Amino acid sequence: MRTFILLTILVAGLLTGPITTAQRPSSGWSDKSRLLPDKLRSLPVGLTLWHTNNPCVPTLEGDTYYWKHSTMVRAEVGDLELVEAGSFIWYDSTGWHPNMSYDTNLFAEKFNCPSGKLKSGQTYTFGKNWRFGKQAYGGDALWYIIARDRSGKLYKGYGLIETEGKLTH
């Protein structure tokens, strides 16, 4: 029952922060022979999403590691309206796990995209999309955006960020 409730909250877009291991619902990645999680596989690509710096190497500031990067998105098929944005993380051999989930308001704030309305050809940037923690560890995150056009057709955009576990000198 707890898993059902958490999954319902996640799908409703009410979670806006990382999900702890104790709360984590099923991965939504049922076919391990395919790269993408289920919700992304059948949608056509209509947005470009990318990250810089990528791969991202941590810096140590005091006792905290920071992976400093930005995430950008651009609608390619026309004007679109955000349905959902978020990320999956891959930190061990079990594969993708749901991580972040953004509703329209949080997406609009982080990407400076009023009302989650993506104008065709315009780039929207989450400038300080930083990861931080007390330990340096590597892992990958698959950021995605699902948006709809005026007719209701859904499109996806996704981009992988590689976060490394070792400092460079």
Is the per-residue pLDDT at 23 higher than 90? no
* Confidence tier at 169 by pLDDT (50, 70, 90): low
Could you tell me the pTM of the whole model?
A: 0.80
**For residues 105 and 119, what is the distance between their CA atoms, to the nearest angstrom?**
17
* pLDDT, tens digit, 9 for 90 and up, residues 29-56: 888 888 899 999 999 999 999 999 999 9
For residue 19, pLDDT beyond 50: no
Q: What b/e string do you get for 139-163 counting C-beta neighbours within 10 Å, with b at 16 or more?
A: bebbbbbbbebeeeeebbbbbbbbb
Q: Which residue has the tokens 């955000």?
A: 82
